Structure 1
Amino acid sequence: MSHDHEETGLTVGGRDPDLTKLLDRGLDAYNFAATGTTAADQGELSVRALDPATGETVGGLTAWTWGGLLGIDMLWVHEEHRGDGWGSRLLRAAEAEARRRGCDRAVVSSFTFQAPDFYRRHGYVETGRTLGIPGGAQDVHFHKSLAPDAS
């Protein structure tokens, strides 16, 4: 349901895929010009964890790469498989693929009730916080330098 505000020329509503596409194109053009990058410098990245016994997905990671930067969007492991090392394997695989793509740094954020200590254990350094997350939580922002892969 959307609400028109004729006097202001605004339409307010829920999800708008057409607007999202328009904003993506507009911001990409602006960002490419500001950074000297092109669409060829960006890409999507995903890593899926499968239980070897059942073949079922037990977790995954989604991210993007852009001009040498890995940006992790989401990392999740099913509750029954937490503590089995899947999160570390997902993260290491994403970092390895990012290095293969020429990335030398990574960023991610994690709510304080999620996994900030996990990222710290993997060499991520806190760079700031966003306050006001529901439940009194904070969003912790991290950066990591991705040293060249030794393999």
Structure 2
Amino acid sequence: MTNDHGPGLTLTTGERDAELNERLSDELDAFNTAATGAADRGTFSVKVTDETGALVGGLAAWTWGGLCGIGMLWLREDSRKGGLGGRILRAAEAEALRRGCDRVTVSSFTFQAPGFYQRHGYVETGRTLGIPGGHEDVHMFKSLTEPTPSDAH
């Protein structure tokens, strides 16, 4: 490998390295805490199973400095359209509030569920272009301290 990065440096590209990922996360957490004073990073999930214990759906999220970020929300196809997604989302928002968050961020590809989030009070803040198939990644935000149309039901 050609080393154009200075004496004694090696640049390596490969599959995801779990140890490297953990170290980068720790280093960035330390940097972010020093820059913002917020050190309350955490994660949580919401899980739904059926009577047999099979996974029906769930949500994975992180919290930091009063912000909750939804990383993933998924429902088994036979459980979509019945309101379960909204119940999962409301449970996550309640947990975020319990953890001291007053706002939530999420992104959803245009072929996924941006309309679902918008129906639950999320507003679009931007888009990332260039998703395969001519799609976009829709970035959204919701304040947990202001009533939304979905709260009226």
Contact 1:130 1:138 in 2 (8 A): yes
Which residue of the partner structure matches residue 73 of structure 2? 75
Flag the structure with higher strand content.
1
What is the TM-score of this pair, normalised by structure 1? Answer: 0.89
Which residue of the partner structure matches residue 91 of structure 1? 89
For 1:74-128, what per-residue CA distance to the aligned partner results, in whole angstroms no more than 9, with x for missing partners? 0000011111211111100000011011110000000000000000000000000
Determine whether 1:45 maps to 2:44.
yes
CA distance, structure 1, for counterparts of residue 53 and residue 15 of structure 2? 36
Q: Shift of residue 27 of structure 1?
A: 0.7
Which residue of the partner structure matches residue 27 of structure 1? 28
Unmatched runs of 5 consecutive residues or more in structure 2: none
Contact 1:59 1:75 in 2 (8 A): yes
Percent identity, please. Answer: 62
Determine whether 1:66 maps to 2:60.
no
Which residue of the partner structure matches residue 109 of structure 2? 111
TM-aligned CA distance change 1:55 to 1:17, over 3 Å: closer
AA paired with 1:48? K
